[in-house]
């Protein structure tokens, strides 16, 4: 309890000492050279700063050498955080894009995800309640780390997408289409024939041309694996 109070006081002092206009950039410069031992202070800086500060810090974390960030993922994602959910999800998205960028080699992405397994467990469990944009980022990463419990969550996500297609008579808006295409790309990376029925269901129900083409190609490849 005392330790938590000290960290909060340090974060508040840090915020008060910096001019508002330059605060976000100053935080980012410090965060870039921090390590996991500084994670509690970083969490408090995100909590006490505004959204701009949170996004700048999230981007800077991806530049540091120590990429163990699960403590930050869990803290930002918790409902007890005073921020509204949409702000927390924006910061989480920025954090994932920064620490797990698509430009990394597959082996490096997998290594980083394994290092942050507790945080990623939280994100996978939260898929049903997240907004489409955060779900898309988490699903992208499932292509690089997919133990059985993650595969089960991914199948559930596929069934939700198929239900959306049925409800909307095959139509998708841009964000829904992007999520569905990312889902299909992740399933293609995993290449597990158990997904064949879900992919076929998406193909049967969609009226979105790009989604249909991706689902058709993937269903063929999954059937060949069988």
Q: Would you give the end-to-end CA distance of the chain in angstroms?
A: 56
Same domain? For 203 and 165 the reply is: yes
Among the candidates 71, 99, 127, a domain finishes at 99
- Residue whose pair of structure tokens reads 């996500």 in the numeric block: 157
Identify the domain containing residue 70 by its residue range: 1-99
The pLDDT tens digits for 128-153 are 999 999 999 999 999 999 899 999 99
pLDDT-flagged residues of the chain (< 70): 1-25, 79-80, 226
Distance CA 133, CA 90 (A): 9
Same domain? For 65 and 51 the reply is: yes
Q: Is 151 exposed, middle or buried (0-12, 13-18, 19+ CB in 10 A)?
A: middle
Among the candidates 31, 65, 99, a domain finishes at 99
Distance CA 89, CA 134 (A): 6
Q: pLDDT at position 50, please?
A: 87
Same domain? For 71 and 115 the reply is: no
The pLDDT tens digits for 165-181 are 999 999 999 999 999 99
Same domain? For 66 and 117 the reply is: no
- Please count the structural domains in the chain: 2
**Token code pair at residue 65:** 């050498």
Collect all residues with Cβ–Cβ distance below 8 Å to 200 and sequence separation of at least 6.
Answer: 215, 219
Distance CA 86, CA 28 (A): 22
Helix (H, G, I), strand (E, B) or coil at 46: helix
Same domain? For 108 and 194 the reply is: yes
Same domain? For 148 and 91 the reply is: no
Same domain? For 142 and 191 the reply is: yes
């Amino acid at each position: 309890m005392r330790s938590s109070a000290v960290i909060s006081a340090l974060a508040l002092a840090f915020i008060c000492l910096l001019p508002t206009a330059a605060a976000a950039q100053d935080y980012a410069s410090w965060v870039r050279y921090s390590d996991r031992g500084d994670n509690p202070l970083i969490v408090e800086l995100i909590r006490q700063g505004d959204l701009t500060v949170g996004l700048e810090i999230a981007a800077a974390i991806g530049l540091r050498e120590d990429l163990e960030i699960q403590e930050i993922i869990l803290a930002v994602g918790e409902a007890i955080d005073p921020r509204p959910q949409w702000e927390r999800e924006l910061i989480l998205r920025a954090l994932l894009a920064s620490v797990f960028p698509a430009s990394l080699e597959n082996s490096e992405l997998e290594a980083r995800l394994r290092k942050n397994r507790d945080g990623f467990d939280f994100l996978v469990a939260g898929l049903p309640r997240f907004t489409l944009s955060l779900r898309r980022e988490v699903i992208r990463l499932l292509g690089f780390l997919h133990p059985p419990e993650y595969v089960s969550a991914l199948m559930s996500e596929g069934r939700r997408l198929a239900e959306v297609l049925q409800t909307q008579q095959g139509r998708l808006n841009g964000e829904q289409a992007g999520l569905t295409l990312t889902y299909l790309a992740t399933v293609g990376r995993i290449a597990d024939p158990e997904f064949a029925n879900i992919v076929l269901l998406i193909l049967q129900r969609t009226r979105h041309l790009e989604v249909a083409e991706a689902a058709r190609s993937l269903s063929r490849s999954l059937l060949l694996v069988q």
